[in-house]
Amino acid sequence: MIDLHSHTNESDGACSPAQLIHEAVRARVDVLGVTDHDTFSGYDQALAAAAEAGVELVCGIELSTQLHGQSVHLLGYFPGLDGCRNGLDAFREWVLDQQASRRERNVRLAARLRELGFDVTLEEAEARGKGVTGRPHFAQILVEKGYVADIRQAFHKYLDESAAGYVYRREPPFGEGVEEIRRAGGIASLAHPVRVNGNLVALMPELCDAGLNAIEAYHSDHGPRETELYLGLARKYGMLVTGGSDFHGAVKPEVMLGTGHGGNLRIPDDLMRKLRAG
Ligand code: AMP
Ligand code: FE
Ligand code: FE
Ligand code: ZN
């Protein structure tokens, strides 16, 4: 089984890189894409365990970008690069800039939450998030301290773009994200397209012009009709197709590695061959 979208605790997943490989073996996933937010650290650390377990790792990353005022997630895949190290130095440098903008936002987010009366510090959040602390870590703290019932409520009341505690984060323009991935030899795939607000069909020519060359047609948030729609768009624009569960482990327990939400994810076995062939 193939799953090209997963997170470790180097970003906002619950599993360590080694635990993620353990989960992959248990779920019979033999081709696994590690796509942490703004870091390759989880991928790097999973390599040894994957080799030992016979799991083929695909080097990936998930970036947050700005497109017409909304935050759009972009996946970068580097299947051709051995261990993802060679040839990626410049891109890795660029990724460090994204981590810096995240940290700068987190300083302001912690201050904002304290302003709202919550006992939440930057240090507490960073203790959970390591290099790429994000809003999910702040959400976990709000849940654990009893300020909200669950992660959903934490986002809805305080962390969502329209909520009371939201603070702005500088994100690279969509086109820059695509360009950086492509320049590094990667495949740039539109992550969970169902979450793009507005008319994606109308946006496609612009995304295509920006250099986007893949679309995540298979995702645990997609029903069969959505998957069909995105497969059709990929065909129309000559783009590759990617797919994955977006596994985050126990912090998002309803999503299973490989099979998604209640078994709704069925990623075809030949998808990887097509990705490699470009
Ligand atoms: P950040 O990258 O720190 O701005 O946080 C964004 C991440 O928070 C996304 O990648 C999601 O994993 C998570 N997220 C965003 N909105 C929600 C929500 N409403 N409920 C749960 N998780 C969310
Ligand atoms: Fe996430
Ligand atoms: Fe995402
Ligand atoms: Zn993701």
* Paired strand residues for 242: 216
pLDDT of res. 1 = 97
pLDDT of res. 86 = 62
Q: Whose CA is nearest to atom 3 of ligand 1?
A: 134
pLDDT of res. 276 = 87
Among 155, 195, 221, 248, the mutation site with the greatest number of ligand 1 atoms within 8 A of its Cβ is 155
pLDDT tens readout for residues 189-200? 999 999 999 999
User: Which atom from ligand 1 is nearest to the alpha carbon of 71?
Assistant: 4
What is the pTM for the complete model shown? Answer: 0.94
Tokens of 146: 């009893």
pLDDT of res. 82 = 57
Those residues with Cβ within 8 angstroms of residue 80's Cβ, 6 or more apart along the chain or in another chain: 185, 276
| Low-confidence residues of the chain: pLDDT under 50 | none
Distance 135 CA to ligand 2 centre (A): 9
How many whole angstroms from its chain centre is CA 271? 19
Q: Residue 244 CA: which ligand is closest? A: 4
pLDDT of res. 88 = 85
User: How far is residue 10's CA from residue 20's CA, in Å, rounded to a whole number?
Assistant: 11
